[in-house]
Amino acid sequence: MSQYKRPVSVLVVIHTPDLQVLLLERASHAGYWQSVTGSQEGDETLIETAQREVAEETGIIAPIGDFKDWQITNVFEIFAEWRFRYAPGITHNTEHVFSLEVPQGQPIRIAPDEHLDYRWAHWREAAKECFSWSNRDAILMLPEKTGLWSGDPPA
């Protein structure tokens, strides 16, 4: 196994049927809220990465078939403070977007080494809270991508 992270990751927007979105507060940056994210490991597929990261970061064990692959990728510059995790010269990451619908009241068990807290927020509010532009944009697409409207017209 490489000592470096692969610059390929997933973003998983976890939501309820009424479009409440799960947000996680980063342990390394209090006040930075995000959806589940994580890098691909070994020979796992992207959807397997999504499934593993959701389990690790939230305690939610969901079957592969429950994940929706949006077929959207984002390329962004890796924050300088986190580049040491990647091979020398790697400055950008390719992120693949997924969503996972869970029932209202889904129990959450955060990974304390990665997150300080979690909360559920209406999709419009959740989008405003995310520090990442790709996470914000994915949440804003949630009503369209899921076919759920939560009583609001889409933005």
Fold of 8-146: Nucleoside Triphosphate Pyrophosphohydrolase (3.90.79)
Whether 27 contacts 113, CB under 8 Å? yes
Task: Kindly tell me the sign of the dihedral angle through the C-alpha atoms of 57, 35, 107, 68.
Answer: negative
Please give the full DSSP string across the chain, using - where no structure is assigned: --SSB-SEEEEEEEE-TT-EEEEEEESSSTT-EE-EEEE--TT--HHHHHHHHHHHHH-----GGGEEEEEEEEEEEPPGGGGGGB-TT--EEEEEEEEEE--TT------TTTEEEEEEEEHHHHHHHBS-HHHHHHHHHHHHHHT--TTS---
Whether 76 contacts 92, CB under 8 Å? yes
pLDDT digits (tens, 9 = 90+) for 69-79: 999 999 999 98
The whole-number pLDDT of residue 48 equals: 98
pLDDT digits (tens, 9 = 90+) for 6-41: 999 999 999 999 999 999 999 988 899 999 999 999
The pTM assigned to this predicted structure is 0.92
Mean pLDDT (the chain) is: 93
* pLDDT band at residue 150 under the 50/70/90 scheme: low
